[in-house]
Amino acid sequence: MYHTILVPIDISTPELTQLVVPHVKAQVSLNDNARVHFLTVIPIFPYYASLGLAYSPEAPDNEMIRSEALSQLTEAIKPFNIPKSRMETHLATGSPKDRILGLAESIQADIIIVASHRPSMATYLLGSNAAAIVRYAKCPVLVIR
């Protein structure tokens, strides 16, 4: 039974989030004291276009990007139907795998439930972020495809 559950959410691919929903709900239903930590990571410049913002030669307004990412995260987690008292949202900037692993360690996650893109020749079995999380996490990792 897992008490602290970390669920990284890629707000640029909502279809991956939908794959994770039943698995997170199942884990939460097994433990009345489970707490779910949702995390989205804002990629570093110039990858902010993944948030739906058009490319611009000017540096983006970081507060605007953070606000938009938090808004998208809030919308993305609604289908989980988890009471607010049992969840927490986190927003980070940088390398997704580094931020996910860092938060997992700081909250002492019991499990990470992460969605992975379908493999391509470049990643073969798992997406590069999912592969790094599986390789370096200090807790169990459930990868959903």
Range 4-144: architecture per CATH: 3-Layer(aba) Sandwich (3.40)
Tokens of residue 114, six digits: 């992460």
What pLDDT shows up at residue 61?
75
What is the rounded distance in angstroms from the CA atom of residue 104 to the CA atom of residue 138? 8
Is the predicted pLDDT of residue 134 greater than 90, yes or no? yes
Is the predicted pLDDT of residue 125 greater than 70, yes or no? no
- CB-based contact 76:17 (threshold 8 Å): yes
Looking at 5-19, 32-46, 103-117, which range is the least confident one?
A: 32-46
Is the predicted pLDDT of residue 14 greater than 60, yes or no? yes
**Residue 124, helix vs strand vs coil:** coil
- CB-based contact 143:18 (threshold 8 Å): no
Cα 118 to chain centroid distance, Å, stands at: 16
pLDDT band at 143 (very low <50, low <70, confident <90, very high): very high
How high is the mean pLDDT of the chain?
87
What is the rounded distance in angstroms from the CA atom of residue 55 to the CA atom of residue 47? 9
Q: What is the mean pLDDT of residues 21-43?
A: 95
> pLDDT digits over 58-111, tens only?
656 788 889 999 999 999 999 999 999 999 999 999 999 999 999 999 999 999
Is the predicted pLDDT of residue 49 greater than 60, yes or no? no
Cα 140 to chain centroid distance, Å, stands at: 15
Dihedral over Cα of 12, 124, 27, 105: its sign: negative
Residues 6 or more apart in contact with residue 101 via CB below 8 angstroms: 132, 133, 136, 137
Q: What is the mean pLDDT of residues 123-145?
A: 83
Residues 6 or more apart in contact with residue 134 via CB below 8 angstroms: 126, 141, 143
Neighbours of 114 (CB within 10 A): 27
Domain ranges of the chain: 4-144
- CB-based contact 4:33 (threshold 8 Å): no
